[in-house]
């Protein structure tokens, strides 16, 4: 059994290295458990895209663009200049420096990806309103945050209950469908029962077909 597990792990690492690094000829990518897990989150996002345009909030060094399909209109936004310089060098056009709070245009996107971002933000309510402002009616938001991971850079520590409460409140006045997933290490699995608030890992939610609720619009709620 131990030998089989070792072989499976070696095959997994070979697959990840070959697919995510050699294919892009990005030899500066350092393969670590954190990088592998984040690559798997983008692969998860790729399987849940809607439409032809994607906004990637806090895109980091840009490797997510390399995992997503080549035929989409992509915009990656990140606050750090070194990230944008690196992303532009290795992954081409489609990257701008900025914060989610700086997005004052009216561009719309069919899918918005925000993974491992909201825990860092000072005003998560305003940030989600900005996501909705830039989402095509009927579009998809792929949202992910770490659960129970205190860090000096994290301004919000989410639990399973608190992140679901946040999403419910943020989407009040909208109709949508929702699928919740959980990642521990590389595996991403569909959540089919309530998780404990002590669980650590990454919470991922696919929020689909988001539209203003006509009743809320008529009442002036949106």
pLDDT digits (tens, 9 = 90+) for 150-206: 989 999 999 999 999 999 999 999 999 999 999 987 889 999 989 999 999 999 999
Of 85-89, 132-136, 175-179, 197-201, the least confident: 85-89
pTM of the model: 0.84
Banded model confidence at residue 214, pLDDT cuts 50, 70, 90: confident
Q: What angle do CA 57, 35, 195 make, to 5 degrees?
A: 75
Q: Are strands 201-212 and 73-78 parallel, antiparallel or unpaired?
A: unpaired
Nearest to 49, CA basis, from 133, 127, 136? 136
Q: How far apart are CA 24 and CA 27, in angstroms?
A: 8
Structure-token pair, residue 56: 């990637």
Kindly report the average pLDDT of the chain as a whole number. 86
Dihedral, CA of residue 14, residue 20, residue 23 and residue 27, to nearest 10: -90
pLDDT at 10 over 80: no
Q: Are 79 and 65 contacting, i.e. CB atoms less than 8 angstroms apart?
A: no
Question: Which position has the higher pLDDT, 31 or 119?
Answer: 119
pLDDT score, position 121: 96
pLDDT score, position 71: 93
Share of the chain above pLDDT 70, in %: 82
pLDDT at 4 over 50: no
Residue ranges covered by each domain of the chain: 1-31, 33-218
**What is the SS3 assignment for 29?**
coil
Nearest to 64, CA basis, from 38, 86, 29? 38
Domain 33-218 falls in which CATH fold?
Answer: Rossmann fold (3.40.50)
Q: To the nearest 5 percent, what fractions of the chain are helix, strand and coil?
A: 35, 30, 35
pLDDT digits (tens, 9 = 90+) for 109-126: 999 999 999 999 999 999
- Pairs from 80-88 (Cβ < 8 Å, separation ≥ 24): 83/59, 86/28, 86/61, 86/62, 87/59, 87/60, 87/61, 87/62, 88/62
């Amino acid at each position: 059994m131990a030998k089989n597990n070792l072989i499976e792990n070696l095959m997994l690492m070979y697959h990840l290295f070959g697919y995510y690094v050699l294919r892009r000829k990005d030899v500066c990518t350092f393969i670590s458990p954190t990088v592998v897990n984040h690559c798997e989150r983008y692969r998860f996002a790729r399987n849940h895209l809607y439409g032809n345009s994607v906004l990637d909030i806090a895109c980091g060094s840009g490797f997510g663009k390399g995992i997503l399909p080549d035929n989409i209109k992509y915009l990656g936004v990140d606050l750090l200049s070194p990230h944008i310089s690196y992303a532009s060098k290795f992954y081409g056009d489609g990257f701008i420096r900025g914060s989610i709070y700086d997005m004052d245009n009216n561009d719309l996107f069919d899918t918005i990806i925000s993974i491992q971002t909201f825990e860092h933000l000072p005003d998560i309510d305003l940030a989600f309103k900005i996501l909705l402002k830039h989402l095509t009616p009927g579009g998809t938001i792929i949202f992910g945050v770490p659960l129970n991971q205190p860090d000096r850079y994290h301004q919000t520590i989410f639990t399973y209950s608190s992140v679901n409460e946040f999403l419910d409140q943020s989407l009040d006045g909208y109709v949508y469908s929702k699928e919740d997933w959980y990642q521990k290490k590389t595996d991403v699995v569909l959540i089919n029962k309530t998780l404990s608030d002590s669980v650590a890992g990454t919470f991922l939610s696919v929020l689909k077909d988001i539209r203003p609720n006509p009743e809320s619009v008529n009442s002036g709620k949106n």
